[in-house]
Amino acid sequence: MENRPLAPELAVVRWFNAREPLTLAGLRGRPVLIHAFQMLCPGCVAHGTPQAEKAHRLFRDTDLQVIGLHTVFEQHDAMRPVSLEAFIHEYRLTIPIGVDEPGSGDPIPVTMSRFRMRGTPTAILIGRDGTILHHARIQLASA
């Protein structure tokens, strides 16, 4: 049996489309798909976020929890929560979306750092036991 790492906890400062804050500890026992994105990332807007929204809608009657994580590591002034709220409305997103906690003196947000993400869009699949089953930055083919 492969030794897989336990997923670190999310560090989220604000939630959209969620009745209450979501935690990985609270979701233990369910599979979780995290879609990390930035609203000004062309690959996220064109591909990753629509795919995450589609997965959210397709699997809504299962125990899979799809989570969007807005993790800003560049252009911080342009991607504030008020802008994200407009983005969510404009793109009619229903997926629960958390705003990653800004890094302390570091442009890399806390959850992005904890998961050692290398950019956006990134997909992370967490198993029912809380371990990371898959972690990959989505590489998009150029047209």
DSSP result, the chain: ---PPBPPPP-EEEEES-SS---TTTTTTS-EEEEEE-TT-HHIIIIIHHHHHHHHHHTTTSS-EEEEEE---S-GGG--HHHHHHHHHHTT--S-EEEEPPPSSSSS-HHHHHTT--SSSEEEEE-TTSBEEEEEEPPPPP-
**Beta carbons of 63 and 30 less than 8 angstroms apart:** yes
Profile the chain (143 residues) by mean pLDDT over runs of 10 residues.
85 96 97 96 92 96 97 73 92 96 89 94 96 81 47
- How high is the pLDDT of residue 103? 86
- How high is the pLDDT of residue 143? 40
Domains of the chain: 58-122 (3.40.30.10)
**Beta carbons of 88 and 115 less than 8 angstroms apart:** no
Q: Can you read off the two tokens belonging to residue 92?
A: 């009619």
Peptide bond into 121 cis (omega under 30): yes
Residue partners of 77: CB distance under 8 A and separation at least 6 = none
- How high is the pLDDT of residue 76? 60
- How high is the pLDDT of residue 31? 98
- How high is the pLDDT of residue 114? 96
